[in-house]
Amino acid sequence: MLLAAFFVIAVAIRLASVVISKRHEAALRADGAVEVGAGVSRLMAAAHVAFMLAGGLEAWLRQPVPDAVSVVGLAIYAFGIVMLFVVIRLLGRFWTVKVMIARDHALVTHKLFRAVRHPNYFLNILPELVGYALVLHAFWTLAIGLPLYLVVMWLRIRQEERAMRERFAAYA
């Protein structure tokens, strides 16, 4: 029952972030922003959904009892979600789940972005996925799904890096 509640809450949090992203995306597009790498964005979204569904299915089949691994996973997951909302706050209207470059795009130079090149990926998404899988004892999902997700993330980071270097000389 607790794990089912966690699954529902995790899905709701991700859906809330998509709502925020869609709102930001609509405003950015209305102001002339362009999307970079739409195919990889779709692939990343599909990978995220697949990971969450696979983890939920694995937990449903396994029927684990929450334990110390679940507690550690919950702490890691919570850190990732806190970082998601920190990144959303720091990027403001420029944050979307897609790579969007606005006409008036501003380079965010907050110390978090200086300390970690891609905090949304390394401080939000990775802890979120690892923590999620640990809470649900979805070890197969973690072992198979995370490496596959990392390939997509690597493609995404390459696209984002290229777009940012083209837009901002100071980004390099």
Q: Which CATH number do you get for residue 99?
A: 1.20.120.1630
Q: What mean pLDDT, rounded, does the chain reach?
A: 95
Query: How many angstroms separate the CA atoms of 157 and 54, rounded?
Result: 24
Q: Which residues does 157 contact at the CB level (< 8 Å), separation at least 6?
A: 118, 121
Q: pTM to 2 decimals?
A: 0.94
Q: What is the mean pLDDT of residues 145-159?
A: 97
Q: Is the confidence at residue 170, as pLDDT, over 80? A: no
Look at the chain and report how many structural domains it folds into. 1
Residue written as token pair 């008036």: 104
More confident residue, 23 or 108: 23
User: What are the tens digits of pLDDT across the range 24-38?
Assistant: 999 999 999 999 999
pLDDT greater than 90 at residue 57: yes
Domain extent, residue 40, equals 2-171
For the record, the structure tokens of 58 come out as: 């694995």
* pLDDT band, very low/low/confident/very high, at 18 (cuts 50, 70, 90): very high
**Cβ(10)–Cβ(118) under 8 Å?**
no
Which residue's structure tokens are 């979600």?
81
pLDDT digits (tens, 9 = 90+) for 97-139: 999 999 888 888 899 998 999 999 999 999 999 999 999 999 9
